[in-house]
Amino acid sequence: MAERFRLSLAQLNPTVGDLEGNAAMAREAWTEARDAGADMVAFPEMFLTGYQLQDLVKKPAFAMDVQRVLARLAEDCADGPAIGIGGPLPGGAKPFNAYFVLQGGTVAAQVLKHHLPNYNVFDEKRYYHAGDPSGPVRVGPLRIGIPICEDAWFEDVTETLAETGAEILLVPNGSPYHRGKMDTRQAIMVSRVIETGLPLVYLNLLGGQDDQVFDGASFVLNPHGVLTHQMPAFEPALIHVDFENGPEGWQAVSGQKAALPDTWEADYRVMVEALRDYMGKTGFRQVVLGLSGGIDSALVATIAADALGPENVRCVMLPSRFTSETSLEDAADVARRLGTRLDTVPIGPAHEAVLETLGPIFEGTEPGITEENIQSRLRGVMLMALSNKFGEMLLTTGNKSEVAVGYATIYGDMAGGYNPIKDLYKTRVFETCRWRNTHHFDWMKGPEGEVIPPRVIDKPPTAELRADQKDEDSLPPYSDLDVMLEMLIDKEASVADVVAMGYDRATVKKIESLIYISEYKRFQSAPGARLTERAFWLDRRYPIVNRWRDNSGN
């Protein structure tokens, strides 16, 4: 009979800083793995502490607590399968990003991350020392090479492990989602398998942390890049992978292969899971949001209903004298279709009172954007009052196009604790609404069917802060604006590059200027779900004070 090794893979959702809770989750998975006859149960990168830790990882008291919880976990799980689990290891001025192998009641081995990512959302050179590459760790009959996350994106670490006797590669990851990430991961891991000739286990973290969502979707590859196991995306799972030692060495016995979502489902799931975990991990159960009758707030209300259940969503219509009857009807229709509560809080009297109060100071000036923005800020005041009174987190509803050019009122409609659509351009907002109207899955807590009325999707966007106002009075059509924004922001293209696509130079320069002068607003904006590699906050960091402008193409 062929020699066998059972490796249990725990794709689970830890919470940053909840050391005891994360360790309890590990014990539960270890017990299930032990009962299934596993030789080892593996957890993702930084599972014990959650990820990313940012400056929390440098706090000495936190580091001591991690070591205490780790030692007790090893003691509690002494009689049974080995445990592989990620966490920080003290290292003087900075810790190491480490992966611990627990056997027989102690930390039997530790592997240190060598390549520290320092791009996009990662700042690991700020937080960690780089460890030296190490050899494989023996667990029972098997020598396991453990390249931690980024170490598997470079051939040197995996090559060293293969040369020093590794028989399989276990890659613990904290790899957050962005559109198209899964294809990139699999392509790189297939390269490592082909280069080394070894089976590879890619074990990814799960769950939302601030703006990032770790999407799981762990998988196992045999030599020649053959997929043997595919774990689900966005779902907790514990699977048992059997390896057999035959004439060609250790190989995984083929097992379950979950179907992965397409891009539209994945993006929407990220927005739902990001909100669900942000709420759950911060202790909130219910949300409140302004429902204007427009498409952005309708989509946010739908995401909230899918994440939390309609009974936990309070929608508020805050009409002014500029609010159309159509908007009132559409907001009511959205709330009815979703099954959420809808309250109406008119802001007209408050607006008149503020204008009267400021009248002596404003005397002799022409009414304009100041008076318009008072309405938006009054809505923020009302919504924050409801949030405070009832303990409901306020959601803000600005899409990426608006956030990019500052087409939002700071301390007004930008007020809130989280923004699910912050990284979704307006053109994708339209398509996402159409997609949600025709798709429903078990993980959605909201109703199925056409939950966003077609009239809401099709009508011209407007802030309704003055009579007959339309977004296109101030901005190019979103079909054009979003192309310019993707070029200038996501691709860091020059003005000349965008003009070469056929756009008017004066318009492109105006959009470039709006992007730069709105930096201070984004600096103060609510966090939101990351969908792309150029999301605002950690992916794209610009100075607030910045006089440089691109004069190419003159």
Name the β-bridge partners of 143.
Answer: 138
By three-state DSSP, how is residue 387 classified? Answer: helix
Whether residue 52 is preceded by a cis peptide bond, meaning omega within 30 degrees of 0, is yes
| Residue whose token pair is 């860091």 | 492
pLDDT over 70, % of the chain: 98
Instruction: Please give the average per-residue pLDDT across 153-178, as a whole number.
Output: 96
pLDDT tens figures, 26-50: 999 999 999 999 999 999 999 999 9
Beta strand pairing call for 219-222 and 200-204: antiparallel
pLDDT class of 464 with cuts at 50, 70, 90: low
Kindly report the backbone phi and psi dihedral angles of residue 186, in degrees, each rounded to the nearest multiple of 5, phi listed first. -65, -40
The yes-or-no verdict on residue 502 having pLDDT over 80 is yes
- The predicted model gives 303-331 an average pLDDT of 95
Residue 463 has pLDDT above 80, yes or no: no
List the catalytic residues: 45, 113, 149
The rounded mean pLDDT for the chain is 95
Residue 219 predicted with pLDDT over 90 = yes
The most distant pair of C-alpha atoms in the chain lies apart, rounded to whole Å, by: 94
Distance (Å, whole) CA 124 – CA 211: 17
Which residues lie closer than 8 Å to 337 by C-beta, 6 or more apart? 447, 449, 450, 451, 452, 453
195 DSSP 8-state letter? H
Amino acid sitting at position 470: K
DSSP 397-427: ---HHHHHHT-S-TTTTT-SSBBTTTT--HH
Is the pLDDT score of 496 beyond 90? yes
In Å, how far from its chain's centre is CA 128? Answer: 22
Spatial CB neighbours of 292, under 8 Å, sequence gap ≥ 6: 317, 318, 327, 331, 464
Which residues, in sequence order, are bridge partners of residue 41?
Answer: 8, 83
Dist CA 113 CA 143 (whole Å): 18
**Distant-in-sequence, close-in-space partners of 176: CB < 8 Å, separation ≥ 6:** 121, 212, 213, 214, 215, 530
| H/E segment holding residue 101 | strand 96-103
Q: For residue 54, what are the CA distances in angstroms to 14, 85, 88, 128?
A: 16, 19, 12, 10
Task: Report helix, strand or coil for 374.
Answer: helix
Question: Would you call 315 helix, strand, or coil by DSSP?
Answer: strand
What pLDDT digit, counting tens, does each position of 371-408 carry?
999 999 999 999 999 999 999 999 999 999 999 999 99
Three-state secondary-structure class, residue 290: strand
Phi, psi of 302 (to 5 degrees): -70, -45
- CA dist 12 and 216 (Å) reads 8
Q: Are 50 and 22 in contact (CB under 8 A)?
A: yes
285 and 259 in contact (C-beta within 8 Å)? no
Q: Distance between CA atoms of 222 and 244, rounded to whole angstroms?
A: 11
Residue 1 has pLDDT above 70, yes or no: no
Q: In order of start, what are the domains of the chain with their CATH numbers?
A: 3-256 (3.60.110.10), 264-471 (3.40.50.620)
Compute the Cα dihedral for 51, 56, 62, 63 and give only its sign: positive
Q: Burial of 475 by CB count in 10 Å (0-12 exposed, 13-18 middle, 19+ buried)?
A: buried
User: Which phi and psi (to 5°) does residue 71 adopt?
Assistant: -60, -40
Question: Which pTM does this prediction carry?
Answer: 0.95
pLDDT at 529: 97
Q: What is the mean pLDDT of residues 465-480?
A: 78
Report the pLDDT value the prediction gives residue 141, as an integer from 0 to 100. 95
Q: Please state the φ and ψ torsions of residue 313, each to the nearest 5 degrees.
A: -120, 120
**Would you place residue 241 in the very low, low, confident or very high pLDDT band (cuts 50, 70, 90)?**
very high
Please report the pLDDT score of residue 382 as a whole number: 97
**CB 193: neighbour CB atoms within 10 A?**
20
DSSP 210: T
β-pairing, 212-215 vs 206-209, is: antiparallel
State the CB neighbour count (10 A cutoff) for residue 241.
24
